[in-house]
Amino acid sequence: MKEGPDISQIAALIGDPARANILTALMDGRALTASELAEEAGVGLSTASGHLSKLTDADLVSPRKSGRHKYFHLADAEVAGVLEALMGLAARRGATRVRTGPKDAQMQVARVCYNHLAGRMGVQMYRSLLGRDLLVEDNENVALTAAGRDFATGFGIDLAELEKGRTLLCRTCLDWSERRNHLAGSLGRAMLTRMEDLGWMHRDAGSRVICVTQKGKAAFEDMFGSA
């Protein structure tokens, strides 16, 4: 009767409010401990522990032990992608969070998606790279051109190092607020890290908001501005 993989198990997993909170909290790409996630989800430690083992069993998150702490992070970028897609649906249905604070506006401008830059600035960067032929889209894959490799290296990114890793260098990720692609993959991650190192921006602790400094704003506009 049924065709294709079974959606309901995974959807049900995401469907519990506490677990959804946990997953959302991990969307910033950081690894958090069980206690922190319990706090984030608003449940007791024992409850969170149970949720986390279910999420781990389903391969939505991965644990990493470090001393007496246990850190959890999203299993991979695909999981993050599905979560963003669900946010897209939820946002359009007007099921936005009750509390719409000042952070919501900032989230639209620049936020961290798993581990890369998302929001208006993320999309702007991506479009700029494409427009200047530093990046090309071939099918759903994106890749750096020769000029793009020079650019990245000049920006202070060690491509050879990145390419050693298992994760794809370039990947696209659909932005739930902008409804356009932005750059993911290990390069996306490295770009964000580099911009943080340069003092252009820094992550807001405890949220996914990225705060852009005055200096960063100018430098970013200078490098990726449409003008």
Partner DNA sequence: TCAATACTTCGGTTACCGTCGAACTATGAA
Partner DNA sequence: TTCATAGTTCGACGGTAACCGAAGTATTGA
Binding site for DNA (CB under 7 A): 12, 16-18, 33-35, 43-47, 49-54, 63, 67-71
Q: Does 211 bind a copy of itself (CB under 8 A)?
A: no
**Which is closer to a copy of itself, CB of 76 or CB of 219?**
76
Q: Does 217 bind a copy of itself (CB under 8 A)?
A: no
User: From CA 191, how far away is CA 151, in angstroms rounded?
Assistant: 11
Site string for a copy of itself, 10-49 (x = CB under 8 A): xxxxxxxx-xxx-xx--x------------x-x-------
Nearest to 25 by CA among 176, 159, 207, 214: 207
H-type alpha helices, the chain:
7-15, 17-26, 34-41, 45-57, 77-92, 102-109, 120-131, 146-154, 159-164, 185-197, 214-224
Nearest to 142 by CA among 151, 153, 133, 150: 133
* Number of residues in the chain: 227
**Which is closer to a copy of itself, CB of 105 or CB of 218?**
105
CB 187 within 8 A of CB 160: no
Least spacing, CB of residue 38 vs a copy of itself, in Å: 12
> What are the phi and psi torsion angles at 177 (to 5°)?
-90, -35
Q: Does 72 bind a copy of itself (CB under 8 A)?
A: no
In the complex, which residues of this chain contact a copy of itself (CB under 8 A)? 1-17, 19-21, 23-24, 27, 40, 42, 58-60, 78-79, 81-83, 85-93, 95-97, 103-104, 107, 111, 126-127, 130, 137-140, 172, 174, 176, 180-181, 207-209
